[in-house]
């Protein structure tokens, strides 16, 4: 067990948000001292939307909201790190407590509400990182959203894109947080068409990859509409999924807290939505599978359901950062067992 795993264990004794703040500080201060992780096995490398990922395991949005520590997190072996959600103006988010560990369920409920320091701060952090890592840090995505009190949400996304896209490898459009009232309405056909058209126009000829992150709580008709809009829009990918507002049977006393549920109970429903999206869009759009991944077997199941890349957050809280290396080892073992030459060969093999 590494120093960081032991620290993760100790941090679980603290209230959840305090532990998260300390983890960020620790990562910023300590991970700089860590060596670069060993080069990944070439069977794990994935080419997607014009980028070469050394491995398909990414850190999901919400951990590093202000892009403070993407390169430190990459040292734990992530193939890419997604920072954000960042809104144009800083905002405090919901009152605390707003983050709950459901330990018995290997889950978390959060109603953070896009607490972040705003796009100018995130831009400064990303610029500083570009200056410092001339040899190239890891791949970094930036996840953008709208301010809670915005009167024109689509303009917020366009503004965030204009400022942050030049500083990241790809941009995620988050229309699926359950903690900003009305935000998920942007997943409707008309709104989504306007939003994606606006972003495609804003990116011009530079063609920075755009991914749309959706909720797991959509019915079949809504998924059909999203698939249609995404296919015709010209964006590169879909991230499936954000947290769920559903409450499957849970053991923890926090089960009825308002907010988005992540972790183990999200694995099956988010994988079902992922598989359904693969069936709808085929190979025309890159899929990123997120929700409840806690092992290499879980990551492999997302790949078989159609994901070229995966992300995780909640399992890191429970298992510490050595989880990333373990997932990669187990994923390789799954590929070898089933006779796949590499990750890409297995993508979608279980989607039909």
Ligand X SMILES: Cc1cc2nc3c(=O)[nH]c(=O)nc-3n(C[C@H](O)[C@H](O)[C@H](O)COP(=O)(O)O)c2cc1C
Active site residues: 177
- Report the residue from 49, 100, 313, 340 that binds ligand X according to the rule CB under 6 A: 313
User: Which residues in 317-346 contact ligand X (CB under 6 A)?
Assistant: none
Could you say whether residue 108 binds ligand X (CB under 6 A)?
A: yes
State the Cα–Cα distance between residues 96 and 47, nearest whole angstrom: 41
State the Cα–Cα distance between residues 60 and 63, nearest whole angstrom: 7
Q: Based on CB atoms, which residue is closest to ligand X, 138 or 292?
A: 292
In whole angstroms, the minimum distance from the beta carbon of 290 to ligand X comes to 4
State the Cα–Cα distance between residues 172 and 231, nearest whole angstrom: 16
Could you say whether residue 78 binds ligand X (CB under 6 A)?
A: no
Give backbone dihedrals phi and psi of 246, rounded to 5 degrees, phi first.
Answer: -70, 155
- Report the residue from 55, 94, 174, 308 that binds ligand X according to the rule CB under 6 A: 174
Could you say whether residue 110 binds ligand X (CB under 6 A)?
A: yes
Report helix, strand or coil for 140: strand
CA triple 242-243-249, angle to 5 deg: 145
Stretch that binds ligand X, among 47-55, 146-154, 288-296, 326-334 (CB under 6 A): 288-296
Could you say whether residue 291 binds ligand X (CB under 6 A)?
A: yes
- Report the residue from 67, 112, 139, 210 that binds ligand X according to the rule CB under 6 A: 112
Stretch that binds ligand X, among 189-197, 273-281, 291-299, 326-334 (CB under 6 A): 291-299
Report CA torsion sign: 224, 243, 51, 309: negative
State the Cα–Cα distance between residues 20 and 222, nearest whole angstrom: 34
Closest CA to 186 of 149, 146, 242: 146
For 96, residues 6+ apart whose C-beta sits below 8 A from its C-beta are: 17
Query: With 0-12 CB in 10 A as exposed, 13-18 as middle and 19+ as buried, what is 75?
Result: buried
Whose CB is nearest to ligand X? 62
Query: With 0-12 CB in 10 A as exposed, 13-18 as middle and 19+ as buried, what is 298?
Result: buried
Could you say whether residue 312 binds ligand X (CB under 6 A)?
A: yes
- Report the residue from 23, 55, 68, 85 that binds ligand X according to the rule CB under 6 A: 85
In the stretch 177-216, what mask flags binding to ligand X with x, by CB under 6 A? x-----------------------------------x---
User: Which residues in 6-45 contact ligand X (CB under 6 A)?
Assistant: none
- Report the residue from 123, 211, 218, 293 that binds ligand X according to the rule CB under 6 A: 293
Could you say whether residue 266 binds ligand X (CB under 6 A)?
A: yes
For 243, residues 6+ apart whose C-beta sits below 8 A from its C-beta are: 110, 177, 178, 216, 259, 260, 261, 262, 266
- Report the residue from 7, 19, 46, 60 that binds ligand X according to the rule CB under 6 A: 60
In whole angstroms, the minimum distance from the beta carbon of 347 to ligand X comes to 19
Instruction: Provide the β-strand partners of residue 310.
Output: 57, 289
Instruction: Specify whether the CB–CB gap between 143 and 122 falls below 8 A.
Output: no
Q: Based on CB atoms, which residue is closest to ligand X, 60 or 334?
A: 60
In whole angstroms, the minimum distance from the beta carbon of 229 to ligand X comes to 19
Could you say whether residue 143 binds ligand X (CB under 6 A)?
A: yes
Could you say whether residue 271 binds ligand X (CB under 6 A)?
A: no
Could you say whether residue 147 binds ligand X (CB under 6 A)?
A: no
Pairing of strands 80-86, 139-144: parallel
Q: Please give the residue ranges that form the binding site for ligand X (CB under 6 A).
A: 60-62, 65, 84-85, 99, 108, 110, 112, 143, 174, 177, 213, 242-243, 262-263, 266, 290-293, 312-315
């Amino acid at each position: 067990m590494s120093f960081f795993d032991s620290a993760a264990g100790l941090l679980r004794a603290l209230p959840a948000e305090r532990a998260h703040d300390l983890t960020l500080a620790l990562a910023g201060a300590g991970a700089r001292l860590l060596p670069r992780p060993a080069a990944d096995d070439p069977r794990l490398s994935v080419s997607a939307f014009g980028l070469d990922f050394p491995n398909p395991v990414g850190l999901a949005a919400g951990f590093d909201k202000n892009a403070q520590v993407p390169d430190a997190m990459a040292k734990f072996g992530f193939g890419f790190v997604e920072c954000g959600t960042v809104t144009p103006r800083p905002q405090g988010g919901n009152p605390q407590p707003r983050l709950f560990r459901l330990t018995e369920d290997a889950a978390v409920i959060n109603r953070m509400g896009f607490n972040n320091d705003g796009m100018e701060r995130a831009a400064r952090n990303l610029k500083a990182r570009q200056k410092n890592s001339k040899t190239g840090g890891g791949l970094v995505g930036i996840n953008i959203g709208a301010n809670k009190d915005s009167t024109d949400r689509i303009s917020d996304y366009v503004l965030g894109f204009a400022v942050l896209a030049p500083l990241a490898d790809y941009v995620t459009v988050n229309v699926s947080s359950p903690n900003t009232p009305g935000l998920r309405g942007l997943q409707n056909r008309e709104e989504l068409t306007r939003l994606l058209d606006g972003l495609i126009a804003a990116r011009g000829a530079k063609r920075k990859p755009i991914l749309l992150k959706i909720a797991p709580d959509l019915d079949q008709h809504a998924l059909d509409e999203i698939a249609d809009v995404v296919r015709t829009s010209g964006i590169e990918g879909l991230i499936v999924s954000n947290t769920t507002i559903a409450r499957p049977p849970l053991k923890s006393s926090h089960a009825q807290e308002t907010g988005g549920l992540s972790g183990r109970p999200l694995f099956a429903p988010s994988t079902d939505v992922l598989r359904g999206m693969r069936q709808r869009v085929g190979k025309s759009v890159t899929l990123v599978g997120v929700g409840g991944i806690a092992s290499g077997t879980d990551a492999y199941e997302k790949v078989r359901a159609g994901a070229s890349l995966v992300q995780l957050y909640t399992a890191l809280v429970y298992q510490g950062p050595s989880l990333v290396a373990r997932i990669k080892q187990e994923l390789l073992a799954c590929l070898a067992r089933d006779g796949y030459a590499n990750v890409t060969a297995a993508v979608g093999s279980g989607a039909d």
